Structure 1
Amino acid sequence: MKNADLDNLLDQCQRSVKLALLVAETGLSVEQCRCDLESANGVLAKALKKSTTQTENDYINGRQFALCIDGGGSKCAAVIIDQTGTIIGRGRSGPCNLTDGRSMQEVISNLVTATQSAMDECKKDQTVAACSPGVASLQGCFKTAWIGLAGMDRSGYREELLPLLREKFGLHSPGSLRLSNDVDLLAALMSQRPETRSVIILIAGTGSVAMRYHRDSSGGATRVARSGGWGHILGDEGGGYAIGQQGIKLTLACLEERRLGICEERLGEFEDAILRQLGCLVPDPNCIDLVSQLLAQNQRPSTKSQIAAAAEAVLSVAKHSEKAMMILHDQVRHLVDHTLGRLLHPQCAGFVSDEETGLVLSGGIFSHPTYRELFLERLSVKRVSFAYVERVEDAALTGAISLMSKPPGLSP
């Protein structure tokens, strides 16, 4: 390097010799090297090792890889794709909702497990043999990653979790790791719908939440309003937990009335479905202690997971059970009239008319045809007509494709 070039580089690095050496050695940008040096606590050798690893692994046998993880209240789903959008690995693990009392380490463990499970599939692709599973292999395997977690909007979570994930996945350069709410993954669909300037994402999974996004100047999505998502203790009507809870309460009432001699009728199809889902169906219903089973301490699956799973029983008998249909009508009504309805009020922050707004539905509850039919019927009753209504089953894939479509150096 000529003296003039060296002087120029030192000027760019504000006369920091360590930073200048890191830039000269790796060929990375000053900003990126400054970030690497700071994350290495100013130790040049450590920063050099991380930067070199990142650079070498941006391409593995001529291919680049992006990781996206959708961490919700019932499961964690990971997808790995290459630069062509080809899926090369999928993985799953346990729930990742930070508001459910899980420690940061438990959440990170589930994220790593889902990623390693996806990487197990990568072994079938000989061109990615360099990314064999194992904790160490997470370092530098991905050009970029997007992790969307339920509960991430709560105060302090992002600041605590982000540096831990950067270290775990070896993603230290600016823009290489995005950490957001899981709903934000679906907002990436806006790039595929240029005809609308606003979209509402409505989730009915374990819980429920609605968020409105506007298209920003760069073509991305900016969240402007949120409704619901209060958690299973305070609300989340329309989601699996609320549906399952109502089903269990009706079943408990039926069992109690039998024990008290108020009712002598046998259990119906609805109650049988609930008890079967919970593993409590026995010949003598009077022997069932459902409350004790659900509230037992330190059990797996958790009480929340068991209650949410009971929604499957409610949905499975909906066509034949008045009780099930009553629950679903009530939950759909609340989801449309309140959770979604608040974002459609003309005085709501970021309001755009429904005719100019797209609606994206996601979450396991929306995968049931009966629930979707009731939902669309309720929209019709309320005379709400969106520009389009689209259901998305794979938020992780949506996020991964969005990552690979970003120009180099642009924060995902």
Structure 2
Amino acid sequence: MALYLCVDCGGSKTSAVICDSTGEVKGRALGGPSNFAYIGLEAFRREVAAAVSNALKSCVSPPSVDPVSLPPSTPIFESAWFGISGVDSQAAIDKLTPILSELLNIPPGRNLIVANDTNLLAAPLRMYDDVDNAVTVISGTGGIVVSFVIGEDGGLKEMGRVGGWGWILGDEGGGFHVGREAIRQILMESDIASVEGPPPALTLGKSTLKSRIMELYGVQDVYELLTVIHLPDPLPSQAVAEDAPKYSLIPREKRLSQLAPLVFSSAFEDGDPLALNVLRSTSGMLADQICILLRPGTPRGVKASNGVVCFGGSLAGVDAYRQLVLAHLEERGHIFKHVEFVDDAAAVGARGLSVAARAARS
């Protein structure tokens, strides 16, 4: 039985999906975070191996209750496609390809595709006959936008990319950006109130974003948030006092990205004006990045009215947030012909490999 593997390696989880030659999913499994730029080679290989090994359990005959050992003595997969968060250069691809080739017993070449995770989201480009481009928008733990067309060889050809610089430098529209903007706006509100007086209270009985965040961190004064956010990352060997606050055990990036669910619930469930303003700001900056790709008069720009925008990631999975991004784009004169949300990029990628194999055989 011919098998096709696709692995979506993200900042929050690793998703491995295996399809047969008909495109039917035969196995799937999840692993831990596998953003190559964040966790390094050893941890990356470990997470990928665990996800693939567990996905293979239901593909062997008879099905196994234990993970399948890797690398296999003989090749198992006809082809494999890795969409990896943090792979932003040919040098990174060249570094990972030998590791994945050895892990799967697939020689480097056309049957082993190693690329950024945005490539997986562009699969809907093949679903429509009335478009000539796709813009993929990832808004999850991080954020990045990339444009594609179909190349002369029938594969995806990247035209332009914006963002994906990581949490220190950007990740506009992603979870870290949302958390950071929430803290920034809470602090700015207090700064303004120090001059103009306190802002009007919200309707009694509603849980506000500000109160939720302060309760989460166990602080009473807004400016204590500065201590929370700037406290250095915990060291692996660091002794922890019994009365140490929980946030001191969390890496700085996670202290901010973990706030995204609070912002979303405060905005879309409670109608908190502050939370709504945070999401208008972050979605607007994500739209600004998309607009850089939408310059049809430039050598590699594409046109929204001739394209499909493909969203992916946990934040983009919230329809109200996607609508904020699309509204910003419309205000700037960009309306896509089709809008897709790809909620299972690994499955789409695995099916795409099987389709390509059938087409090659025919």
Determine if contact 1:251/1:274 at 8 Å carries over to the other structure: no
Q: RCO (CA 8 Å, sep 6+): is it higher in 1 or 2?
A: 2
What is the correspondence of 1:110-125 to structure 2 with a 5 Å cutoff? 110-120=47-57, 122=58
Partner of residue 13 from structure 2, selected from 42, 60, 75: 75
In the alignment, which residue of structure 1 is the partner of 2:302? 352
Q: 1 or 2, which has the higher helix percentage?
A: 1
In the alignment, which residue of structure 2 is the partner of 1:55? none
1:291 aligns with 2:236: no
Superposition RMSD in Å:
3.2
In the alignment, which residue of structure 2 is the partner of 1:271? 210
In the alignment, which residue of structure 1 is the partner of 2:174? 239
**Structure 2 unmatched runs, 5+:** 237-248
Determine if contact 2:209/2:263 at 8 Å carries over to the other structure: yes
Check 1:126–1:226 CA distance in 2 against 1; reply closer, same or farther (3 A cut).
closer
Check 1:242–1:410 CA distance in 2 against 1; reply closer, same or farther (3 A cut).
same
Q: TM-score, normalised by structure 1?
A: 0.73
Check 1:144–1:409 CA distance in 2 against 1; reply closer, same or farther (3 A cut).
farther
Aligned equivalents of 1:230, 1:182: Cα separation in 2: 14
What is the correspondence of 1:6-405 to structure 2 with a 5 Å cutoff? 63-100=1-38, 102-120=39-57, 122=58, 127=61, 129=63, 133-136=67-70, 138-139=72-73, 140-172=75-107, 174-251=109-186, 269-275=208-214, 279-281=216-218, 291-292=227-228, 295-298=232-235, 302-319=251-268, 320-336=271-287, 338-405=288-355
Aligned equivalents of 2:173, 2:117: Cα separation in 1: 18
Letter in 2 for 1:297: P
Aligned equivalents of 1:183, 1:402: Cα separation in 2: 15
Task: Give the drift of 1:112.
Answer: 0.9
Check 1:275–1:401 CA distance in 2 against 1; reply closer, same or farther (3 A cut).
farther
Letter in 2 for 1:185: L
Residue identity over aligned pairs, in percent, reads: 27
Q: Return 354-363 or 322-331, whichever deviates more.
A: 354-363
Determine if contact 2:5/2:79 at 8 Å carries over to the other structure: yes
Check 1:174–1:132 CA distance in 2 against 1; reply closer, same or farther (3 A cut).
farther
Task: Give the drift of 1:290.
Answer: 6.9
Aligned equivalents of 1:329, 1:286: Cα separation in 2: 22
Task: Give the drift of 1:252.
Answer: 5.9
Q: TM-score, normalised by structure 2?
A: 0.82
Check 1:361–1:137 CA distance in 2 against 1; reply closer, same or farther (3 A cut).
same
Q: Deviations over 1:24-67 (max 9, x none)?
A: xxxxxxxxxxxxxxxxxxxxxxxxxxxxxxxxxxxxxxx22111
Check 1:264–1:397 CA distance in 2 against 1; reply closer, same or farther (3 A cut).
closer
Determine if contact 2:307/2:336 at 8 Å carries over to the other structure: yes
Determine if contact 2:311/2:341 at 8 Å carries over to the other structure: yes
Letter in 2 for 1:80: I
Task: Give the drift of 1:287.
Answer: 12
Q: Deviations over 1:348-389 (max 9, x none)?
A: 332232221221111111111221221222223223221211
**Structure 1 unmatched runs, 5+:** 1-62
Determine if contact 1:332/1:375 at 8 Å carries over to the other structure: yes
Letter in 1 for 2:20: D
Task: Give the drift of 1:286.
Answer: 8.6
Letter in 2 for 1:135: S
